[in-house]
Amino acid sequence: MPELPEVEVVRAGLARHVAGRTVTGVEVLDPRPLRRQDGGVRAFVDQLTGRTVTAVVRRGKFLWLPLDDGRALSAHLGMSGQLLVRGTSPAAASDRDPAIRSAAAFLVDPDTRLGRRPVDLSATERPRYVRDISASPRHLRVRVHLSSDPSADGTDGAVLDLVDQRMLGGLHVVDLTPTVDGAPGGAGSPEPLLPADATHIARDLLDPALELAGPTGVVARVRASRRAIKTLLLDQGLVSGIGNIYADEGLWEAGVHGLRLGTALDTRVVARILEATAEVMRRALEAGGTSFDALYVDVEGASGFFARELGAYGRQGQACRRCGTTMLREALGGRSHTYCPRCQRRPRRRR
């Protein structure tokens, strides 16, 4: 499941290649990803065609593309959804981002523009985690045709594909609504707007407008709860963007067992956990996200490379990187929790 850093990688890639383009056509090969669309396939196509994508915005793991009519295309990646951009001009892309110049060579397919392989930004760096993600047509669900980019010379039209093997992701057009606090809705746009069906999603840990301190801040709300800290970290209504990977990492970094209750933690410890989790996510972002599931790739087809850096997640049975004690894993609230029994003291069972 992509978490905040992985979705941010997708957001940045979409912003680079899709923002400013106009939708010239929509092909729905499978209606199931549109299940959240009011009015179904017809409404989706009608509401999207002719609209220009003005930005790409993310709050936590939620992603939306504001359109020029005040609505937005909302994208859910689910467990296996991928958004792939094809057909963007390699020359224009490398002009704007020198880092991908070397990758541009992979792009060109002389036979068909749409048949170009997606850009793989990372293949030359760490090929170990990269796989060929040439989309199987079987898993292509929705294809959005886009105009050339008016802000860059020499670009061609492009397509944005939703590819989804397990059918858990989806797209829909939704109204935007003002944020309660008047701050930007998320990363990627200064507009104080967010999708009307995402108002229950709290701001994420990397959002400068997230209220941490104060009587209604995240720290106070954690300390008022008798739920386990790990469960609280995963609660997208409290603070968004954290999934199983980064919750385990933040708790390991902070030296706190996930079963500790919010009420058992003092302000300093809660702040330490949140800061540690944010820091791990920032590091993952620099590395391009974390990827364990081969299905996860970013919008241009690159998978993340942060997995090897992790301290806790997926390391049960291995030595703690800090103290050498064998890491353990246990069930916690329907998820797994991997921890070091020495660095992260397990609370005594409640009677």
Binding site for Zn ion (CB under 5 A): 320, 322-323, 325, 340, 342-343
Which amino acid appears at position 7 of this protein? Answer: V
Enter the tokens of residue 351: 């009677």
For the bound state, the minimum distance from the C-beta of residue 252 to Zn ion, rounded and expressed in Å, comes to 8
CA dihedral 118, 80, 186, 258 (to 10 degrees): -130
CA dihedral sign, ordered 170, 174, 180, 181: positive
For the bound state, the minimum distance from the C-beta of residue 192 to Zn ion, rounded and expressed in Å, comes to 43
User: Residue 196 or residue 323: which is nearer to Zn ion going by CB?
Assistant: 323
Phi-psi region of 205 (alpha: psi -120 to 50; beta: other; left: phi over 0): alpha
For the bound state, the minimum distance from the C-beta of residue 126 to Zn ion, rounded and expressed in Å, comes to 27
- Helices 244-254 and 267-287, interaxial angle, to 10°? 130
Told to judge if 3 belongs to the known catalytic residues of this protein, a careful annotator would answer: yes
Told to judge if 230 belongs to the known catalytic residues of this protein, a careful annotator would answer: no
Which amino acid appears at position 305 of this protein? Answer: F
- What is the SS3 assignment for 330? strand
Residue 274, H or E segment = helix 267-287
For the bound state, the minimum distance from the C-beta of residue 36 to Zn ion, rounded and expressed in Å, comes to 43
Enter the tokens of residue 263: 């009420």
Across the chain, the runs of DSSP E, i.e. the strands, are 23-28, 57-59, 62-66, 71-76, 81-86, 140-146, 158-164, 170-178, 193-195, 328-332, 335-339
Using only C-alpha atoms, the chain has a radius of gyration, in whole angstroms, of 21
Burial of 192 (0-12, 13-18, 19+ CB in 10 A): middle
How far does CA 129 lie from the centroid of its chain? 18
- What is the SS3 assignment for 4? helix
Annotated catalytic residue within 227, 335, 345, 346: 335
Annotated catalytic residue within 3, 6, 8, 211: 3
Annotated catalytic residue within 58, 61, 141, 230: 61
User: Residue 238 or residue 328: which is nearer to Zn ion going by CB?
Assistant: 328
User: Residue 259 or residue 343: which is nearer to Zn ion going by CB?
Assistant: 343
User: Residue 263 or residue 325: which is nearer to Zn ion going by CB?
Assistant: 325
The span from the CA of 57 to the CA of 7, in Å, is 10
Told to judge if 61 belongs to the known catalytic residues of this protein, a careful annotator would answer: yes
For the bound state, the minimum distance from the C-beta of residue 317 to Zn ion, rounded and expressed in Å, comes to 14
Which amino acid appears at position 19 of this protein? Answer: A
User: Residue 32 or residue 322: which is nearer to Zn ion going by CB?
Assistant: 322
Enter the tokens of residue 305: 């490379």
For the bound state, the minimum distance from the C-beta of residue 341 to Zn ion, rounded and expressed in Å, comes to 8
- Tell me whether strands 57-59 and 71-76 are parallel, antiparallel or unpaired: unpaired
For the bound state, the minimum distance from the C-beta of residue 325 to Zn ion, rounded and expressed in Å, comes to 5
Q: Among all residues, which ones are annotated catalytic?
A: 2-3, 61, 335
